[in-house]
Structure formats: structure tokens, C-alpha cells
């Protein structure tokens, strides 16, 4: 039997947040055709506005969410017409919903490097998560929504918390769908290519020219649930191209172009070739990191998402987006000169 909110038809999407004292009910939502291919966790985040990702994963893992009557994993790709059972969720369960601090909102406003009717590009600072969850009250997307109340804003992709640079947010559903298809290299999408370039400082002296790393990556979990990625034949195909731009203080300042977007891809590929990224406390060289902290003041991961190049409207509308290198990273390069 299908239960539904008395104030809404079962097929309606775009749920408003439920007041803490409003009676909650199970509801079933039909996935619109334009959401085909969206992951279940992202679909639920859109339905449960304001709920943290950790709560969404909890209700999926516990089997409270069903797709066409059966249990499903968070990463399941939905199809148009799928019926998603969504349990009652009171936003009070998510904890204190204090607004983001004004200083953060001002910093994000200043960090917007591009905006048009359908996209917004943010030069995300290092240390800011792409989205909230596990102990993080305010990620970039939650803060942007607070900055632009009433606007529909959806993350197109994510950056590691410690990585700075371009983070793309869609303002229209059509742009989100097309860009996510480009991100996953979908051959069905016309003109399906996106060029992603990063700037990174690698420890040690890299050889001249371009070094291509073609090494599959597998995501594992360490004790405590922390993700740890390693090169492993059972992993997903992953391709990165490292090009030395210049050498500073015995280190290699590189441009990195990636053809796949795996978790921690550049960091693990850099470690794999024996030149881990400077300041990487997960995959890096402890001694080299300490020296760079003492000599050049490097207190963060030296990895910056600098350029995204793609075209929307089936390849007809080109975009070339750039985010300047963070000032603290420029200071490190200057000190290494």
C-alpha cells in the first residue's frame, strides 16, 4: 500500500522541509524522467531539503528507503518512473540547524568566479567540505543555499575538503543533468568531453615532459570507516597526466590533467609514481611535508582545481572556467624560488 503526505500527490517532487512538530508520514515519490541516471542518495538529498548526508545514508542502510519495493544502495542510479519510498524524517533529528557564520557567507560571495543563468562556479577554499555531513555543519552547498535563499542550487560534483579550486553548482535541472553526464564520460551524450586540470606541487624532481599514469584505483575502508584509496587491479580504470611546469626548491610544480574522476585520484597516482603531493597527510611523505612546512610555510594540501572546459547544449555552448591559485599556495611557491 502506498502512503502519502495528505498535502501532496504521490508523484510530486521538490519537497519543502517539514516543520519539527508537523506529523510525518511515509510517502512514495515517482522519479521524473529528467532525473534518470541520478544517484539515489542525491535524489533523497533533493527530497529531504536540509537533511545531512549522514542521515540520508542511515535511512538507506537501514532499509527504510525502498526503490520499486526493494532495498537499494545509496549509489544506485535511478530510472524515470521508479517509485521511491521515503520514510518520515524530522529535520530536528539532524541536530542544530544554525545558519552558516556571516564570515563564511562573505568569503563564499567573494569566491564566486563565474555565474550565468544556469551555472555558478566557486573557487572553494581548502578546508571547506563540498557538502555537510559527519560532524560538518556547513559545507559549500549548504552555505551557498543560505547565501541565495529561494534559488535552486545543486552540486554538480565534489572536491576533497583539503583541495581548493573550481566547484560547479547548477542553477537549472537541465544543466545539472547534462554536466553530470559529462562528468561520468557518458558516451550517449553529444560532445561528451570535459577537460579537468589541476595545479599541484609534487615532492622531489619529476622527469621533464608529460608522465601518464594509467593505474586502476580501488576505494577501501580503514578501521573507523575512513576511506583509503590504493592502486589495485580490481579497481576502476583511472588515467592522469602529470606535466612539470617548473621546479622550485627541489620540488616539482605541475599541471595535472585527469581523464577520470576517481576518489583521491591525483593524490594516489602521485604517491604511486613516488612523488606524492606536498602537504598530503594521508598519502604523502611525512618528512617532506615537515620540511616544506618549516621552509615554505605549507600548512595544507598543495592541490588546486584550476580549470574546467566543457560545452553544454550538445556541444554548442562552450565554457572555459578558471579559478586562480589560492594566495597561500602562491606564497609557498615564492618562498621556494
Clarify whether residues 175 and 260 are in a common domain: no
| 67, part of any domain | yes
| 28, part of any domain | yes
Clarify whether residues 177 and 202 are in a common domain: no
Clarify whether residues 28 and 136 are in a common domain: no
Q: Measure the CA angle with vertex 28, ends 27 and 32; round to 5°.
A: 135
Clarify whether residues 64 and 171 are in a common domain: no
pLDDT tens string for the chain (337 positions)? 444 443 333 343 444 444 433 445 888 999 888 778 888 988 888 888 777 778 888 899 999 999 999 999 988 999 889 999 999 887 644 444 577 888 888 989 999 999 999 999 999 999 998 887 655 567 898 889 888 888 889 999 989 999 999 999 999 989 998 998 888 765 555 556 789 999 999 999 999 999 999 999 998 876 566 778 999 999 999 999 999 999 999 999 999 999 988 989 999 999 999 999 999 999 999 999 999 999 999 999 999 999 999 999 988 999 999 999 999 999 999 999 8
Clarify whether residues 144 and 171 are in a common domain: yes
| 195, part of any domain | yes
| 94, part of any domain | no
Query: Would you name the residues annotated as active-site residues?
Result: 160
How many beta carbons lie within 10 A of that of residue 62, not counting itself? 10
| 112, part of any domain | yes
Clarify whether residues 159 and 246 are in a common domain: no
In terms of residue numbers, what domain contains 22? 1-89
> What CA–CA distances, in Å, run from 9 to 66, 80, 334?
18, 17, 60
| 95, part of any domain | no
Q: Would you put residue 264 in left (φ > 0), alpha (ψ -120 to 50) or beta?
A: left
Amino acid at each position: 500500500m502506498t502512503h502519502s503526505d495528505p498535502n501532496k500527490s504521490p508523484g510530486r517532487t521538490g519537497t519543502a522541509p517539514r516543520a519539527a512538530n508537523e506529523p510525518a508520514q511515509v510517502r512514495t515519490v515517482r522519479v521524473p524522467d529528467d532525473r534518470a541516471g541520478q544517484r539515489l542518495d542525491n535524489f533523497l538529498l533533493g527530497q529531504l531539503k536540509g537533511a545531512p548526508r549522514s542521515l540520508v545514508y542511515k535511512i538507506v542502510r537501514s532499509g527504510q528507503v525502498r526503490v520499486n519495493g526493494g532495498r537499494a544502495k545509496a549509489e544506485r542510479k535511478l530510472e524515470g518512473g521508479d517509485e521511491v519510498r521515503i520514510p518520515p524524517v524530522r529535520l530536528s533529528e539532524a541536530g542544530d540547524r544554525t545558519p552558516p557564520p556571516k564570515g563564511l557567507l562573505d568569503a563564499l560571495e567573494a569566491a564566486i568566479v563565474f555565474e550565468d543563468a544556469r551555472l555558478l562556479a566557486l573557487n572553494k577554499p581548502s578546508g571547506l567540505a563540498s557538502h555537510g555531513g559527519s560532524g560538518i555543519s556547513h559545507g559549500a552547498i549548504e552555505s551557498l543555499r543560505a547565501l541565495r535563499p529561494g534559488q535552486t542550487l545543486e552540486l554538480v560534483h565534489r572536491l576533497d575538503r583539503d583541495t581548493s579550486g573550481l566547484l560547479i553548482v547548477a542553477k537549472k535541472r537541465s544543466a545539472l543533468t547534462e554536466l553530470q553526464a559529462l562528468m561520468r564520460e557518458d558516451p550517449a551524450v553529444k560532445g561528451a568531453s570535459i577537460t579537468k586540470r589541476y595545479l599541484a606541487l609534487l615532492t622531489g624532481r619529476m622527469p621533464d615532459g608529460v608522465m601518464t599514469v594509467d593505474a586502476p584505483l580501488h576505494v577501501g575502508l580503514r578501521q573507523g570507516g575512513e576511506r583509503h584509496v590504493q592502486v589495485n587491479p580490481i579497481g576502476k580504470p583511472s588515467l592522469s597526466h602529470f606535466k612539470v611546469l617548473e621546479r622550485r626548491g627541489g620540488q616539482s610544480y605541475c599541471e595535472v590533467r585527469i581523464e577520470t574522476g576517481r576518489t583521491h585520484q591525483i593524490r594516489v597516482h602521485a604517491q604511486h609514481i613516488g612523488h606524492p603531493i606536498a602537504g598530503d597527510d594521508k598519502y604523502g611523505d611525512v618528512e617532506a611535508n615537515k620540511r616544506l612546512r618549516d621552509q615554505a610555510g605549507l600548512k595544507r594540501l598543495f592541490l588546486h582545481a584550476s580549470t574546467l572546459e566543457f560545452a553544454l547544449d550538445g556541444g554548442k555552448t562552450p565554457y572555459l572556467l578558471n579559478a586562480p591559485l589560492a594566495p597561500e599556495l602562491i606564497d609557498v611557491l615564492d618562498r621556494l624560488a
